[in-house]
Amino acid sequence: MATNAIDQTRRMLSLVTYLRERPGARVGDVARAFGITDDELIADLDVLPMCGTSFRGGDLLDIDTDGDRIWWHNPDDVAEPLRLAADEATALLVAARAVSTLPGLREGDRQALLRATAKLEAAAGEAAGASSRLSVTFESEGGVFAEVDRAISERRRLWLRYYSPARDELTEREVDPIRLFAVGHTYFEAWCRLSEARRTFWLGRVAEIRLLDEPADPPPVELRDLSEGLVHPSAEDPEVVVEVGPGGRWVAEYYPHDSAEERPDGGLRITLRTPDPASLRRLALRLGGDGRIVSPQDLADSARQAAREALAAYGE
């Protein structure tokens, strides 16, 4: 059964307590206790070792499994009273205030978070004052996150208008949502009724969204492993070299790449691979004077030709 991100977080917090009291618990028994599959439990266990009492990298949960039993090797260390440094308290308070504004948060969870935040503010002292001058704005403003989260929880279909950069157009489609996730940006995976295939949608490209009364009924699909990112270029894909100035450094943040070498002007020389090099012509046009395609030569030539045609159209 599909769950939203908030339900999964609540389950994982409960899982920590459950495992502490049951050393060597069997995978199958734990999965049944939480009403999830063995694979879902293993996915949770892959995340838990990245959690702990310090974001500096120490005091993490040392939890592993041999596929049959689950072992927690340092429960006593993690159980020690938590002492926050000023920067840790500031980061935690900023994050708590930001999460409390999420439109998809249940009211009971929101109130519990606000109570916990108030207690942390009282304990943090001067650090609380510093955190009040900072704020975080989520890219999923406007209710998109909330609608997707609700659709997953209630297993309902969504209608949306979505911008497709490949075709440079808005399309209308109905989708059956599968899961929300974040890899740099926030996305949701769904079965698209327009293309009759699984598709991934970036929340930032959703122009309009509406929850439908029809039940969502996506066909069974195997969830992709996103631990190494959203896009996995193949070593056999053609290599493309792009040079960008200081105003185009964002390309290295948005496109998976093999290398990004610094240039004397403050820009980057980026080497990446893609199964469809022609799709990067639009990137070249978007960069304008902030970048250019260096190789392959035929792609660089076609990008220049596309720019000339665009300028000629403006002239007409």
pLDDT band per the 50, 70, 90 thresholds, residue 222: confident
Q: Is the pLDDT of residue 313 over 80?
A: no
Q: Is the pLDDT of residue 1 over 50?
A: no
Q: Cα separation of 88 and 166, whole Å?
A: 42
Above pLDDT 70, what percent of the chain? 76
- Residue 4, pLDDT > 80, answer no
Amino acid at 197: A
Amino acid at 53: T
Per the DSSP assignment, residues forming a β-bridge with 25 are: 70
pLDDT for 224: 67
Instruction: Return the pLDDT at 116.
Output: 81
Query: Is the pLDDT at 146 greater than 50, yes or no?
Result: yes
Query: d(Cα 147, Cα 306) in Å, to the nearest integer?
Result: 39
pLDDT above 80 (res 97):
no
Rounded (10°) CA dihedral 81, 84, 89, 93: -10
Tell whether the model's pLDDT for residue 256 goes beyond 60.
yes
pLDDT class of 253 with cuts at 50, 70, 90:
confident
Q: What is the dihedral of CA 147, 150, 151, 154, to 10 degrees?
A: -160
Q: How many Å apart are CA 291 and CA 236, to the nearest integer?
A: 25
pLDDT average, residue stretch 241-258: 82
| Higher per-residue confidence, 229 vs 171 | 171
* Rounded-to-integer distance, Cα 85 and Cα 158, Å: 44
CA distances from 162 to 69, 146, 147, 181, 205 (A): 44, 17, 14, 18, 6
Closest CA to 47 of 96, 97, 11, 80: 11
**Three-class DSSP category at 188:** strand
Instruction: Note the pLDDT tens digit of each residue in 99-125.
Output: 676 655 667 777 887 888 888 777 777
Q: Where do the DSSP E strands lie in 155-257? A: 156-164, 169-183, 185-192, 197-202, 206-215, 239-244
> pLDDT tier at 308 (50, 70, 90 boundaries)?
confident
Average pLDDT rounded to a whole number, residues 199-206: 85
- Let me know how long the chain is: 316
- Looking at per-residue pLDDT, the higher value among 113 and 172 belongs to 172
Give yes or no for residue 280 having a pLDDT over 90: no
What is residue 2's predicted lDDT score, i.e. its pLDDT? 44
Amino acid 132: pLDDT: 60
For residue 140, give both structure tokens.
């999923």
List the Cα angle 142/148/150 in 5-degree steps. 105
Q: How high is the mean pLDDT of the chain? A: 78
Report which residue type is found at 216. A
pLDDT digits (tens, 9 = 90+) for 65-94: 888 899 887 776 655 555 666 767 777 777
User: Cα separation of 155 and 286, whole Å?
Assistant: 38
Predicted confidence at residue 104, as pLDDT, reads: 55
The DSSP element (H or E) to which 98 belongs, if any, is helix 86-100
